[in-house]
Structure 1
Amino acid sequence: MKIATYNVNGINGRLPVLVRWLELAKPDIVCLQELKAPQERFPEKALRDAGYEAVWHGQSRWNGVAILSRVGEIHETRRGLPGDPDDVQSRYIEAAVNGVLVAGLYLPNGNPRPGPKFAFKLHWFDRLHEHLAALIDLDAPVVVAGDYNVMPTDLDVYAPERWRDDALFAPEVKAAYGRLLDQGWTDAVRHLHPGERIYTFWKYWRGAFERNAGLRIDHFLLNGPAAARLTKAEVDTRPRSWEKTSDHAPVWIELADRMSRKRRGGPLL
Protein backbone atom coordinates (compact mmCIF):
# COMPACT_ATOMS: atom_id res chain seq x y z
CA MET A 1 0.00 0.00 0.00
CA LYS A 2 1.36 3.36 -1.06
CA ILE A 3 0.36 6.28 1.17
CA ALA A 4 1.31 9.87 0.36
CA THR A 5 1.08 13.32 1.91
CA TYR A 6 1.05 16.51 -0.15
CA ASN A 7 0.62 20.15 0.83
CA VAL A 8 -1.00 21.37 -2.39
CA ASN A 9 -0.98 25.09 -1.44
CA GLY A 10 -4.44 25.72 -2.90
CA ILE A 11 -6.28 22.73 -4.33
CA ASN A 12 -8.31 24.50 -7.00
CA GLY A 13 -5.46 26.59 -8.33
CA ARG A 14 -3.12 23.56 -8.36
CA LEU A 15 -5.71 20.98 -9.44
CA PRO A 16 -4.01 20.21 -12.80
CA VAL A 17 -0.75 19.58 -10.96
CA LEU A 18 -2.44 17.35 -8.39
CA VAL A 19 -4.32 15.28 -10.97
CA ARG A 20 -1.20 14.93 -13.12
CA TRP A 21 0.75 13.68 -10.13
CA LEU A 22 -2.00 11.25 -9.06
CA GLU A 23 -2.02 9.73 -12.53
CA LEU A 24 1.78 9.51 -12.56
CA ALA A 25 2.47 8.25 -9.04
CA LYS A 26 -0.75 6.29 -8.39
CA PRO A 27 -0.74 6.48 -4.58
CA ASP A 28 -3.41 4.38 -2.88
CA ILE A 29 -4.16 6.87 -0.10
CA VAL A 30 -3.28 10.56 0.00
CA CYS A 31 -3.42 13.16 2.77
CA LEU A 32 -3.72 16.70 1.42
CA GLN A 33 -3.09 19.96 3.27
CA GLU A 34 -3.63 23.65 2.72
CA LEU A 35 -6.69 23.23 0.52
CA LYS A 36 -7.50 26.95 0.83
CA ALA A 37 -11.07 26.20 -0.21
CA PRO A 38 -14.41 26.24 1.62
CA GLN A 39 -16.22 22.94 2.06
CA GLU A 40 -18.49 23.47 -0.95
CA ARG A 41 -15.63 24.29 -3.35
CA PHE A 42 -13.65 21.08 -2.92
CA PRO A 43 -13.17 19.51 -6.40
CA GLU A 44 -14.79 16.19 -5.53
CA LYS A 45 -15.87 15.33 -9.09
CA ALA A 46 -12.46 15.94 -10.63
CA LEU A 47 -10.83 13.69 -8.07
CA ARG A 48 -13.49 11.01 -8.49
CA ASP A 49 -12.86 11.15 -12.25
CA ALA A 50 -9.18 10.54 -11.42
CA GLY A 51 -10.18 7.43 -9.45
CA TYR A 52 -10.25 8.75 -5.90
CA GLU A 53 -12.94 9.03 -3.26
CA ALA A 54 -12.43 11.80 -0.72
CA VAL A 55 -13.34 13.22 2.65
CA TRP A 56 -12.33 16.79 3.41
CA HIS A 57 -12.45 19.51 6.02
CA GLY A 58 -12.41 22.80 4.16
CA GLN A 59 -11.97 26.40 5.20
CA SER A 60 -12.30 29.55 3.15
CA ARG A 61 -8.94 31.05 2.08
CA TRP A 62 -6.81 29.19 4.64
CA ASN A 63 -5.92 25.74 5.95
CA GLY A 64 -8.02 22.72 4.93
CA VAL A 65 -7.18 19.00 4.95
CA ALA A 66 -8.42 15.97 3.02
CA ILE A 67 -7.94 12.21 2.66
CA LEU A 68 -8.19 10.51 -0.74
CA SER A 69 -8.46 6.79 -1.45
CA ARG A 70 -8.52 4.55 -4.49
CA VAL A 71 -8.39 1.30 -2.48
CA GLY A 72 -11.66 1.27 -0.59
CA GLU A 73 -14.20 3.28 1.32
CA ILE A 74 -13.11 6.06 3.64
CA HIS A 75 -14.67 5.75 7.07
CA GLU A 76 -14.16 9.11 8.73
CA THR A 77 -13.47 8.83 12.47
CA ARG A 78 -12.59 12.39 13.45
CA ARG A 79 -12.77 15.92 12.04
CA GLY A 80 -10.80 18.46 14.03
CA LEU A 81 -8.32 17.90 16.83
CA PRO A 82 -9.90 17.59 20.29
CA GLY A 83 -8.90 19.71 23.25
CA ASP A 84 -9.97 23.24 22.30
CA PRO A 85 -13.64 23.96 21.46
CA ASP A 86 -12.69 27.48 20.35
CA ASP A 87 -10.36 26.22 17.62
CA VAL A 88 -12.27 26.51 14.34
CA GLN A 89 -9.29 26.04 12.02
CA SER A 90 -9.48 23.08 9.61
CA ARG A 91 -6.23 21.30 10.38
CA TYR A 92 -6.98 17.66 11.25
CA ILE A 93 -8.93 14.79 9.70
CA GLU A 94 -8.83 11.07 10.50
CA ALA A 95 -10.30 8.01 8.82
CA ALA A 96 -10.05 4.23 8.54
CA VAL A 97 -9.14 3.12 5.02
CA ASN A 98 -8.50 -0.47 3.96
CA GLY A 99 -7.40 -1.59 7.43
CA VAL A 100 -5.22 1.44 8.21
CA LEU A 101 -6.14 4.37 10.45
CA VAL A 102 -4.93 7.46 8.59
CA ALA A 103 -4.67 10.91 10.17
CA GLY A 104 -3.93 13.93 8.04
CA LEU A 105 -2.78 17.17 9.68
CA TYR A 106 -1.62 20.67 8.93
CA LEU A 107 0.17 21.98 12.00
CA PRO A 108 0.22 25.77 12.58
CA ASN A 109 3.21 27.72 11.29
CA GLY A 110 3.67 29.71 14.50
CA ASN A 111 5.41 32.81 13.15
CA PRO A 112 6.12 35.41 14.34
CA ARG A 113 7.86 34.12 17.43
CA PRO A 114 7.22 34.98 20.20
CA GLY A 115 3.57 35.90 20.02
CA PRO A 116 0.04 34.48 20.05
CA LYS A 117 0.56 32.45 16.86
CA PHE A 118 3.57 30.73 18.38
CA ALA A 119 1.66 30.04 21.60
CA PHE A 120 -1.18 28.57 19.53
CA LYS A 121 1.27 26.29 17.75
CA LEU A 122 2.66 24.94 21.02
CA HIS A 123 -0.86 24.44 22.38
CA TRP A 124 -1.83 22.60 19.18
CA PHE A 125 1.20 20.34 19.62
CA ASP A 126 0.10 19.59 23.19
CA ARG A 127 -3.37 18.64 21.95
CA LEU A 128 -1.85 16.45 19.23
CA HIS A 129 0.36 14.72 21.77
CA GLU A 130 -2.62 13.97 23.99
CA HIS A 131 -4.75 12.65 21.12
CA LEU A 132 -2.02 10.49 19.62
CA ALA A 133 -1.40 8.92 23.03
CA ALA A 134 -4.76 7.21 22.53
CA LEU A 135 -3.72 5.87 19.10
CA ILE A 136 -0.13 4.72 19.57
CA ASP A 137 -0.98 1.32 21.08
CA LEU A 138 -3.76 0.35 18.69
CA ASP A 139 -3.33 -3.11 17.19
CA ALA A 140 -4.11 -1.74 13.73
CA PRO A 141 -1.53 0.26 11.77
CA VAL A 142 -1.81 4.02 12.35
CA VAL A 143 -0.27 6.57 9.98
CA VAL A 144 -0.15 10.26 10.95
CA ALA A 145 0.88 12.26 7.90
CA GLY A 146 1.03 15.88 6.90
CA ASP A 147 2.75 19.23 7.09
CA TYR A 148 4.06 19.44 10.66
CA ASN A 149 5.80 22.79 10.10
CA VAL A 150 8.86 21.65 12.03
CA MET A 151 12.40 20.72 11.04
CA PRO A 152 13.29 18.18 13.74
CA THR A 153 17.10 18.39 13.41
CA ASP A 154 19.88 20.34 11.69
CA LEU A 155 19.87 17.62 9.04
CA ASP A 156 16.38 18.74 7.99
CA VAL A 157 17.26 22.30 6.95
CA TYR A 158 19.72 23.55 4.33
CA ALA A 159 21.20 26.34 6.49
CA PRO A 160 20.44 25.75 10.18
CA GLU A 161 22.16 28.94 11.31
CA ARG A 162 19.66 31.04 9.34
CA TRP A 163 16.60 29.46 10.96
CA ARG A 164 17.42 29.60 14.67
CA ASP A 165 14.79 32.27 15.38
CA ASP A 166 12.06 30.82 13.17
CA ALA A 167 9.01 29.11 14.71
CA LEU A 168 9.59 26.03 12.54
CA PHE A 169 13.03 25.50 14.09
CA ALA A 170 12.50 26.79 17.62
CA PRO A 171 13.80 24.59 20.45
CA GLU A 172 10.31 24.32 21.95
CA VAL A 173 8.90 23.08 18.63
CA LYS A 174 11.65 20.56 18.04
CA ALA A 175 11.16 19.33 21.59
CA ALA A 176 7.42 18.96 20.99
CA TYR A 177 8.12 16.81 17.92
CA GLY A 178 10.64 14.84 19.95
CA ARG A 179 7.98 14.08 22.55
CA LEU A 180 5.93 12.39 19.84
CA LEU A 181 8.90 10.16 19.01
CA ASP A 182 9.35 9.46 22.72
CA GLN A 183 5.70 8.42 22.80
CA GLY A 184 6.64 5.59 20.44
CA TRP A 185 5.98 7.00 16.97
CA THR A 186 8.47 6.29 14.15
CA ASP A 187 9.52 9.04 11.74
CA ALA A 188 9.28 6.96 8.55
CA VAL A 189 11.61 8.98 6.31
CA ARG A 190 14.30 9.41 8.95
CA HIS A 191 13.99 5.75 9.99
CA LEU A 192 14.89 4.54 6.50
CA HIS A 193 17.25 7.43 5.66
CA PRO A 194 19.01 8.18 8.96
CA GLY A 195 21.90 10.24 7.60
CA GLU A 196 20.57 11.81 4.41
CA ARG A 197 19.68 15.43 3.75
CA ILE A 198 16.14 15.11 2.42
CA TYR A 199 13.85 18.08 1.89
CA THR A 200 10.11 18.38 1.19
CA PHE A 201 9.71 22.16 0.82
CA TRP A 202 11.57 24.83 -1.16
CA LYS A 203 10.68 28.52 -1.31
CA TYR A 204 9.68 29.92 -4.67
CA TRP A 205 12.36 32.61 -4.75
CA ARG A 206 16.13 32.74 -5.31
CA GLY A 207 16.18 29.41 -7.11
CA ALA A 208 15.73 27.51 -3.85
CA PHE A 209 14.59 24.31 -5.54
CA GLU A 210 17.30 24.42 -8.17
CA ARG A 211 19.91 24.93 -5.43
CA ASN A 212 18.23 22.33 -3.22
CA ALA A 213 18.00 24.90 -0.44
CA GLY A 214 15.08 23.21 1.26
CA LEU A 215 13.42 22.12 4.47
CA ARG A 216 11.99 18.80 5.63
CA ILE A 217 8.67 19.73 7.24
CA ASP A 218 6.28 17.10 5.83
CA HIS A 219 6.43 13.92 7.89
CA PHE A 220 4.99 10.47 8.43
CA LEU A 221 4.68 9.16 11.98
CA LEU A 222 3.87 5.45 12.32
CA ASN A 223 2.78 3.36 15.29
CA GLY A 224 4.33 -0.07 15.89
CA PRO A 225 2.16 -2.16 13.52
CA ALA A 226 2.60 0.40 10.73
CA ALA A 227 6.35 0.69 11.27
CA ALA A 228 6.67 -3.10 11.13
CA ARG A 229 5.21 -3.00 7.61
CA LEU A 230 7.28 -0.04 6.38
CA THR A 231 9.37 -0.87 3.27
CA LYS A 232 9.93 2.50 1.56
CA ALA A 233 9.80 6.22 2.35
CA GLU A 234 10.65 8.77 -0.31
CA VAL A 235 10.07 12.33 -1.53
CA ASP A 236 8.74 12.68 -5.08
CA THR A 237 10.44 15.87 -6.23
CA ARG A 238 9.08 15.74 -9.78
CA PRO A 239 5.98 17.91 -9.22
CA ARG A 240 8.04 20.64 -7.57
CA SER A 241 9.63 21.42 -10.97
CA TRP A 242 6.31 21.74 -12.80
CA GLU A 243 4.66 25.04 -13.68
CA LYS A 244 2.16 26.57 -11.24
CA THR A 245 3.10 23.99 -8.64
CA SER A 246 3.10 23.91 -4.86
CA ASP A 247 6.22 24.87 -2.90
CA HIS A 248 6.01 21.40 -1.29
CA ALA A 249 6.72 18.03 -2.87
CA PRO A 250 4.70 14.88 -2.14
CA VAL A 251 6.16 12.46 0.38
CA TRP A 252 5.17 8.80 0.26
CA ILE A 253 5.65 5.57 2.11
CA GLU A 254 5.00 1.98 1.21
CA LEU A 255 3.57 -0.56 3.65
CA ALA A 256 3.90 -4.26 2.99
CA ASP A 257 0.78 -6.40 3.02
CA ARG A 258 2.07 -8.35 6.00
CA MET A 259 3.76 -7.24 9.19
CA SER A 260 7.42 -8.04 9.71
CA ARG A 261 8.09 -10.98 12.00
CA LYS A 262 10.67 -8.90 13.82
CA ARG A 263 9.61 -7.53 17.16
CA ARG A 264 8.54 -3.93 17.44
CA GLY A 265 11.55 -1.65 17.31
CA GLY A 266 13.69 -4.22 15.52
CA PRO A 267 14.94 -4.08 11.95
CA LEU A 268 12.44 -4.35 9.14
CA LEU A 269 12.34 -7.21 6.66
Structure 2
Amino acid sequence: MKIASWNVNSLNVRMPHLAQWLAAAQPDVVALQETKLEDTRFPDGDIAALGYRSVFCGQKTYNGVALLSRVPAEDCVIAIPGFEDEQKRVIAATIDGVRVVNLYVVNGKAVGDVKYEYKLRWLAAVRDWLAAQIAQYPELVVLGDFNIAPDDRDVHDPAAWHEKILCSTPERDALRAITDLGLHDSFRLHSEEGGQFSWWDYRMAGFRRNLGLRIDLVLVSDALRARCVASGIDREPRTWERPSDHAPVWVRLAR
Protein backbone atom coordinates (compact mmCIF):
# COMPACT_ATOMS: atom_id res chain seq x y z
CA MET A 1 0.00 0.00 0.00
CA LYS A 2 1.64 3.22 -1.16
CA ILE A 3 0.56 6.38 0.66
CA ALA A 4 1.80 9.79 -0.47
CA SER A 5 1.53 13.46 0.39
CA TRP A 6 1.94 16.48 -1.86
CA ASN A 7 1.47 20.18 -1.30
CA VAL A 8 0.37 21.08 -4.83
CA ASN A 9 0.25 24.85 -4.19
CA SER A 10 -2.97 25.33 -6.21
CA LEU A 11 -4.71 22.28 -7.64
CA ASN A 12 -6.21 24.44 -10.38
CA VAL A 13 -2.70 25.17 -11.67
CA ARG A 14 -1.16 21.80 -10.89
CA MET A 15 -3.93 19.43 -12.03
CA PRO A 16 -1.96 18.36 -15.16
CA HIS A 17 1.05 17.64 -12.94
CA LEU A 18 -1.09 15.63 -10.54
CA ALA A 19 -2.49 13.54 -13.39
CA GLN A 20 1.00 12.90 -14.76
CA TRP A 21 2.38 11.99 -11.36
CA LEU A 22 -0.49 9.66 -10.42
CA ALA A 23 0.02 7.74 -13.66
CA ALA A 24 3.76 7.39 -13.02
CA ALA A 25 3.88 6.87 -9.25
CA GLN A 26 0.71 4.77 -8.86
CA PRO A 27 -0.01 5.59 -5.20
CA ASP A 28 -3.00 4.00 -3.48
CA VAL A 29 -3.67 7.06 -1.33
CA VAL A 30 -2.61 10.69 -1.83
CA ALA A 31 -3.01 13.53 0.63
CA LEU A 32 -3.03 16.96 -1.00
CA GLN A 33 -2.48 20.32 0.67
CA GLU A 34 -2.99 23.89 -0.52
CA THR A 35 -5.62 22.92 -3.06
CA LYS A 36 -6.85 26.55 -2.85
CA LEU A 37 -10.28 25.64 -4.20
CA GLU A 38 -13.78 25.99 -2.85
CA ASP A 39 -15.54 22.63 -2.68
CA THR A 40 -17.84 23.50 -5.57
CA ARG A 41 -14.78 23.87 -7.83
CA PHE A 42 -12.92 20.74 -6.75
CA PRO A 43 -12.20 18.57 -9.86
CA ASP A 44 -13.83 15.46 -8.42
CA GLY A 45 -14.88 14.16 -11.83
CA ASP A 46 -11.46 14.62 -13.41
CA ILE A 47 -9.81 12.81 -10.51
CA ALA A 48 -12.39 9.99 -10.71
CA ALA A 49 -11.44 9.57 -14.37
CA LEU A 50 -7.88 8.91 -13.17
CA GLY A 51 -9.10 6.10 -10.93
CA TYR A 52 -9.33 7.85 -7.58
CA ARG A 53 -12.15 8.72 -5.19
CA SER A 54 -11.93 12.08 -3.41
CA VAL A 55 -12.87 13.62 -0.09
CA PHE A 56 -11.98 17.26 0.30
CA CYS A 57 -12.36 20.45 2.27
CA GLY A 58 -11.33 23.75 0.74
CA GLN A 59 -11.68 27.48 0.52
CA LYS A 60 -10.99 30.14 -2.05
CA THR A 61 -7.37 31.23 -2.59
CA TYR A 62 -5.88 29.72 0.58
CA ASN A 63 -5.34 26.38 2.33
CA GLY A 64 -7.51 23.39 1.34
CA VAL A 65 -6.87 19.67 1.86
CA ALA A 66 -8.00 16.48 0.13
CA LEU A 67 -7.57 12.73 0.25
CA LEU A 68 -7.55 10.74 -2.98
CA SER A 69 -7.81 6.95 -2.84
CA ARG A 70 -8.39 3.97 -5.09
CA VAL A 71 -10.99 2.59 -2.68
CA PRO A 72 -13.67 4.68 -0.94
CA ALA A 73 -12.73 6.57 2.21
CA GLU A 74 -14.78 5.95 5.35
CA ASP A 75 -15.48 7.82 8.59
CA CYS A 76 -14.29 11.15 7.21
CA VAL A 77 -13.59 13.99 9.66
CA ILE A 78 -12.97 17.59 8.61
CA ALA A 79 -11.18 20.00 10.97
CA ILE A 80 -9.90 19.45 14.52
CA PRO A 81 -12.84 18.57 16.77
CA GLY A 82 -13.38 21.24 19.40
CA PHE A 83 -10.88 23.70 17.90
CA GLU A 84 -12.58 26.72 16.40
CA ASP A 85 -10.86 27.55 13.13
CA GLU A 86 -12.13 28.85 9.80
CA GLN A 87 -9.04 27.69 7.93
CA LYS A 88 -9.36 24.43 6.00
CA ARG A 89 -6.28 22.52 7.08
CA VAL A 90 -7.32 19.06 8.29
CA ILE A 91 -9.06 16.04 6.82
CA ALA A 92 -9.00 12.44 8.05
CA ALA A 93 -10.52 9.17 6.87
CA THR A 94 -10.10 5.42 7.10
CA ILE A 95 -8.87 3.94 3.83
CA ASP A 96 -8.39 0.21 3.31
CA GLY A 97 -8.17 -0.28 7.08
CA VAL A 98 -5.61 2.47 7.72
CA ARG A 99 -6.57 5.74 9.39
CA VAL A 100 -5.05 8.59 7.37
CA VAL A 101 -4.83 12.11 8.80
CA ASN A 102 -3.86 14.85 6.34
CA LEU A 103 -2.49 18.08 7.87
CA TYR A 104 -1.59 21.40 6.33
CA VAL A 105 0.19 22.88 9.30
CA VAL A 106 0.15 26.64 9.83
CA ASN A 107 3.25 28.38 8.44
CA GLY A 108 3.52 30.91 11.26
CA LYS A 109 5.11 33.73 9.25
CA ALA A 110 7.85 34.65 11.78
CA VAL A 111 8.88 33.72 15.29
CA GLY A 112 6.91 35.91 17.71
CA ASP A 113 4.27 36.88 15.15
CA VAL A 114 0.60 36.44 16.03
CA LYS A 115 0.47 33.74 13.34
CA TYR A 116 3.34 31.95 15.09
CA GLU A 117 1.36 31.88 18.34
CA TYR A 118 -1.62 30.54 16.39
CA LYS A 119 0.62 27.84 14.92
CA LEU A 120 1.68 26.65 18.37
CA ARG A 121 -1.93 26.61 19.64
CA TRP A 122 -3.00 24.74 16.50
CA LEU A 123 -0.25 22.14 16.94
CA ALA A 124 -1.22 21.62 20.59
CA ALA A 125 -4.84 21.01 19.53
CA VAL A 126 -3.69 18.58 16.84
CA ARG A 127 -1.58 16.70 19.38
CA ASP A 128 -4.52 16.26 21.75
CA TRP A 129 -6.79 15.10 18.92
CA LEU A 130 -4.20 12.67 17.56
CA ALA A 131 -3.83 11.12 21.02
CA ALA A 132 -7.50 10.18 20.78
CA GLN A 133 -7.17 9.08 17.15
CA ILE A 134 -4.29 6.73 17.82
CA ALA A 135 -6.19 5.15 20.70
CA GLN A 136 -9.17 4.56 18.41
CA TYR A 137 -7.19 3.68 15.27
CA PRO A 138 -3.86 2.00 16.13
CA GLU A 139 -2.97 1.70 12.42
CA LEU A 140 -2.53 5.42 11.82
CA VAL A 141 -0.68 7.52 9.25
CA VAL A 142 -0.33 11.27 9.83
CA LEU A 143 1.08 13.12 6.86
CA GLY A 144 1.20 16.45 5.10
CA ASP A 145 3.02 19.74 4.94
CA PHE A 146 4.15 20.19 8.54
CA ASN A 147 5.95 23.50 7.95
CA ILE A 148 8.58 22.30 10.44
CA ALA A 149 12.02 20.87 9.66
CA PRO A 150 12.44 18.15 12.30
CA ASP A 151 16.17 18.69 12.87
CA ASP A 152 19.23 20.30 11.34
CA ARG A 153 19.77 17.42 8.90
CA ASP A 154 16.58 18.64 7.24
CA VAL A 155 17.86 22.19 6.62
CA HIS A 156 20.27 23.26 3.88
CA ASP A 157 21.95 25.86 6.12
CA PRO A 158 21.21 25.26 9.81
CA ALA A 159 23.16 28.32 10.93
CA ALA A 160 21.14 30.65 8.68
CA TRP A 161 17.86 29.10 9.80
CA HIS A 162 18.73 28.85 13.50
CA GLU A 163 15.62 29.71 15.58
CA LYS A 164 13.90 31.05 12.47
CA ILE A 165 10.38 30.13 11.43
CA LEU A 166 10.04 26.43 10.45
CA CYS A 167 13.15 25.61 12.51
CA SER A 168 12.58 27.20 15.92
CA THR A 169 12.81 25.18 19.14
CA PRO A 170 9.13 25.63 20.13
CA GLU A 171 8.00 24.37 16.70
CA ARG A 172 10.30 21.36 16.88
CA ASP A 173 9.17 20.66 20.44
CA ALA A 174 5.54 20.76 19.26
CA LEU A 175 6.35 18.27 16.51
CA ARG A 176 8.17 16.05 19.02
CA ALA A 177 5.11 16.11 21.26
CA ILE A 178 3.17 14.65 18.33
CA THR A 179 5.73 11.96 17.48
CA ASP A 180 5.99 11.07 21.18
CA LEU A 181 2.45 9.74 20.90
CA GLY A 182 3.98 6.74 19.16
CA LEU A 183 4.47 8.08 15.64
CA HIS A 184 7.60 7.61 13.55
CA ASP A 185 9.05 9.70 10.74
CA SER A 186 8.93 7.11 7.95
CA PHE A 187 11.73 8.79 6.01
CA ARG A 188 14.09 8.38 8.97
CA LEU A 189 13.20 4.70 9.31
CA HIS A 190 15.13 4.18 6.05
CA SER A 191 17.64 7.02 5.86
CA GLU A 192 19.73 8.99 8.35
CA GLU A 193 21.22 11.09 5.56
CA GLY A 194 20.98 14.86 5.70
CA GLY A 195 20.51 17.17 2.74
CA GLN A 196 17.31 15.50 1.54
CA PHE A 197 14.58 18.08 1.08
CA SER A 198 10.92 18.32 0.05
CA TRP A 199 10.54 22.09 -0.34
CA TRP A 200 12.66 24.66 -2.15
CA ASP A 201 11.94 28.37 -2.39
CA TYR A 202 11.13 29.63 -5.89
CA ARG A 203 13.59 32.48 -5.33
CA MET A 204 17.38 32.45 -5.73
CA ALA A 205 17.37 29.24 -7.82
CA GLY A 206 16.52 27.37 -4.65
CA PHE A 207 15.86 24.01 -6.30
CA ARG A 208 18.81 24.08 -8.68
CA ARG A 209 21.12 24.93 -5.76
CA ASN A 210 19.34 22.49 -3.43
CA LEU A 211 18.60 25.22 -0.88
CA GLY A 212 15.74 23.32 0.69
CA LEU A 213 14.03 22.07 3.81
CA ARG A 214 12.40 18.74 4.57
CA ILE A 215 9.04 19.87 5.91
CA ASP A 216 6.70 17.36 4.25
CA LEU A 217 6.43 14.28 6.45
CA VAL A 218 4.74 10.90 6.61
CA LEU A 219 4.43 9.64 10.19
CA VAL A 220 3.45 6.04 10.92
CA SER A 221 2.18 4.60 14.18
CA ASP A 222 3.86 1.88 16.23
CA ALA A 223 1.37 -0.62 14.83
CA LEU A 224 2.48 0.17 11.26
CA ARG A 225 6.21 0.55 11.81
CA ALA A 226 7.05 -3.05 10.97
CA ARG A 227 5.00 -2.77 7.77
CA CYS A 228 6.88 0.34 6.60
CA VAL A 229 9.15 -1.20 3.95
CA ALA A 230 10.16 1.90 1.95
CA SER A 231 9.82 5.67 1.93
CA GLY A 232 11.14 8.59 -0.04
CA ILE A 233 10.89 11.97 -1.70
CA ASP A 234 10.04 12.21 -5.39
CA ARG A 235 11.97 15.21 -6.71
CA GLU A 236 10.91 14.69 -10.33
CA PRO A 237 7.74 16.87 -10.29
CA ARG A 238 9.78 19.79 -8.94
CA THR A 239 11.71 19.78 -12.24
CA TRP A 240 8.57 20.26 -14.35
CA GLU A 241 7.41 23.54 -15.86
CA ARG A 242 5.50 25.75 -13.39
CA PRO A 243 5.98 23.29 -10.51
CA SER A 244 4.75 23.38 -6.97
CA ASP A 245 7.52 24.43 -4.61
CA HIS A 246 7.02 21.08 -2.80
CA ALA A 247 7.84 17.56 -3.95
CA PRO A 248 5.67 14.51 -3.17
CA VAL A 249 6.74 12.33 -0.24
CA TRP A 250 5.63 8.74 0.21
CA VAL A 251 5.70 5.55 2.26
CA ARG A 252 5.06 1.95 1.24
CA LEU A 253 3.36 -0.38 3.73
CA ALA A 254 3.51 -4.14 3.34
CA ARG A 255 0.07 -5.74 3.23
Fold-level match, TM-score > 0.5? Answer: yes
Partner of 1:99: 97
Partner of 1:179: 177
1:47 matched to which residue of 2?
Answer: 47
Matched-pair contact (CA < 8 Å) for 1:5–1:250: yes
Aligned match of 1:23: 23
Q: 1:218 aligns with which of 202, 216, 222?
A: 216
Equivalent position SS for 1:95? strand
**CA–CA distance in 2 between the matches of 1:117 and 1:167?**
11
Q: What are the Cα deviations for residues 211-268 of structure 1, in whole angstroms up to 9, with x where unaligned?
A: 11110000011111121210001001100000011000000100001xxxxxxxxxxx
Q: Could you say which residue in structure 2 is the equivalent of 1:12?
A: 12
What amino acid does structure 2 have at the position aligned with 1:82?
Answer: P
> How far apart in 2 are the matches of 1:156 and 1:177?
14
Q: Partner of 1:265 in structure 2?
A: none
2: CA distance, partners of 1:84 / 1:102: 19
Quick one: distance in 1 between partners of 2:77 and 2:196?
31
Q: Distance in 1 between matches of 2:150 and 2:38?
A: 31
In the alignment, structure 1 residue 74 sits paired with structure 2 residue 48: no
Output the CA distance in 1 between the equivalents of 2:144 and 2:240. 21
CA contact (8 A) 1:8 1:248 kept: yes
Q: 1:139 to 1:47 in 2, by over 3 A?
A: closer
Match of 1:83 in 2: 82
2:78–2:90 Cα contact (<8 Å) kept: yes
What is the SS of the residue equivalent to 2:11?
A: coil
> Are the structure 2 counterparts of residues 115 and 237 from structure 1 closer, same or farther at C-alpha, using a change threshold of 3 Å?
same
Q: What secondary structure does 2:204 align onto?
A: coil
Distance between the aligned counterparts of 1:138 and 1:225, measured in 2?
12
SS of the equivalent of 1:206 reads helix
| Residues 163 and 169 in structure 2, CA contact (< 8 A), matched pair in contact too | no
Output one character per residue of 1:26-56: Cα deviation in whole Å (capped at 9) or x when no partner. Answer: 1000000001111111111111111111000
By how many angstroms is 1:81 displaced? 1.1
Please name the residue that 1:146 is paired with.
144
* Contact 2:99–2:137 (8 Å) recurs in 1: no
Alignment-mate amino acid for residue 135 of structure 1: Q
Determine whether 1:57 maps to 2:57: yes
Verify the 8 A CA contact 1:111 1:166 in the aligned structure 2: no
Alpha-carbon deviations, 1:127-169, whole Å to 9, x = none?
A: 0110111123446411011000000100001001111242211
Structure-2-length-normalised TM-score = 0.97
Query: Against the structure 1 CA distance between its residues 194 and 138, is the aligned structure 2 distance closer, same or farther, given a 3 Å change threshold?
Result: farther
Identity %: 40
Distance in 2 (CA, whole Å) between partners of 1:118 and 1:239 is: 30
RMSD: 1.2
**Given that residues 197 and 214 in structure 2 are in contact (C-alpha distance below 8 angstroms), is that contact kept between their aligned partners in structure 1?**
yes
Query: How many residues get paired?
Result: 255
Runs of 4+ aligned structure 1 residues displaced above 4 Å come to: none
Q: Which sections of structure 2, spanning at least 5 residues, go unmatched?
A: none
Please, what TM-score do these two structures have when normalized by structure 1?
0.92
Amino acid across the alignment from 2:121: H
Stretches of structure 1 that go unaligned for 5 or more consecutive residues are: 258-269
1:33 equivalent in alignment to 2:12? no
- Greater shift after overlay, 196-205 or 96-105? 196-205
Contact 1:66/1:93, CA 8 A, preserved across alignment: yes
Which residue pairs with 1:245 in the alignment?
A: 243
- Letter matched to residue 154 of structure 2: D
